[in-house]
């Protein structure tokens, strides 16, 4: 371990593998402290604040809040990472801390409340995605905090669904903790019948739009008979509880409006 003058530490291997960057707001500042700040910012909180901060993006594509960068002391010691990329150090710490949320979920160190199944009370709703986006078109997005918010909320919603399925007597496998490319989050087995569950969680109402990837959409289309979207909404971070609507894949594909908001660019 390498320790800086503020008594923050970083593994020697991580420090050695950091890329060099002699420009930008983090030039000559302590990458060890940046790594420490990243870990602290990525930790699970009982409530999540996603207020806007300005973000610095390095040439390697990593992100860090400018407010954090400016608060870090200078470091002229080559052995402590002088000329290494401070932004990457912060981002690595942040991502490592996010990964610890998985461990908290695996070891059941989070106490969850109730998931209220309201499927029978709510009709299928076609979400007007464009209308909702227009309301927020002037908002500047803090992508780093948005990433943390979506990661935490998504994992917590999935864990709540796992608890719900277990209470039904089903055997579950939390697929997304090991594989993000499967096209679904949870596999639930009831006797010899499998359900493939994609969880979509928001703090807002059932009307709030949610994102679905092309991979997730393809899986729903290919497995319509045993695939479901568990729409977890009104998530409460204090009690870790929420409401639930279970949507059959066939209903989702035929009765919901799906609006493409991003495209991949391929050189011709």
* pLDDT, tens digit (0-9, with 9 covering 90-100), for 101-119: 666 666 667 788 899 999 8
Higher per-residue pLDDT: 45 or 72 = 72
CA distance 168 to 149: 29
Within 13 A of 151's CA, how many CA atoms are on the CB side?
A: 21
**For residue 242, what are its two tokens?**
């929420």
The pTM assigned to this predicted structure is 0.63
The pLDDT of residue 139 is 45
What is the DSSP pairing of strand 186-190 with strand 193-201? Answer: antiparallel
User: Residue holding tokens 């009765």?
Assistant: 255
Checking if the pLDDT of 37 tops 60, the result is yes
Residue-wise pLDDT tens digits, 51-72: 445 778 888 878 788 888 888 9
> Which fold would CATH assign to domain 110-255?
Trna Endonuclease; Chain: A, domain 1 (3.40.1350)
Domain boundaries, the chain: 2-103, 110-255
């Amino acid at each position: 371990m390498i320790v800086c003058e503020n008594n923050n530490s970083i593994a020697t291997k991580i420090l050695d593998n950091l890329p060099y960057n002699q420009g930008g707001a983090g030039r000559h500042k302590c990458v060890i402290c940046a790594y420490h700040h990243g870990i602290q910012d990525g930790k699970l909180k009982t409530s999540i604040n996603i207020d806007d901060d300005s973000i610095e993006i390095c040439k390697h594509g990593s992100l860090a809040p400018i407010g954090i960068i400016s608060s870090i002391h200078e470091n002229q010691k080559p052995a402590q990472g002088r000329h290494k990329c401070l932004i990457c150090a912060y981002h690595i710490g942040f991502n490592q801390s996010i990964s610890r949320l998985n461990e908290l979920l695996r070891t059941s160190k989070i106490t969850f409340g109730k998931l209220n199944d309201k499927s029978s009370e709510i009709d299928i709703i076609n979400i007007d995605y464009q209308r909702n986006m227009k309301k927020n078109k002037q908002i500047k997005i803090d992508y780093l905090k948005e990433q943390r918010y979506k990661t935490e909320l998504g994992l917590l919603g999935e864990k709540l669904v796992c608890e719900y399925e277990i209470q039904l007597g089903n055997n579950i496998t939390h697929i997304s903790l090991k594989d993000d490319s499967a096209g679904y989050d949870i596999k639930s087995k009831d006797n010899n019948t499998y359900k493939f569950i994609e969880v979509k969680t928001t703090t807002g109402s059932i009307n709030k739009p949610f994102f679905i990837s092309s991979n997730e959409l393809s899986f729903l289309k290919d497995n319509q008979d045993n695939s479901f979207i568990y729409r977890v909404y009104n998530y409460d971070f204090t009690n870790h509880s929420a409401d639930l609507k279970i949507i059959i894949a066939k209903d989702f594909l035929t009765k919901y409006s799906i609006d493409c908001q991003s495209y991949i660019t391929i050189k011709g």
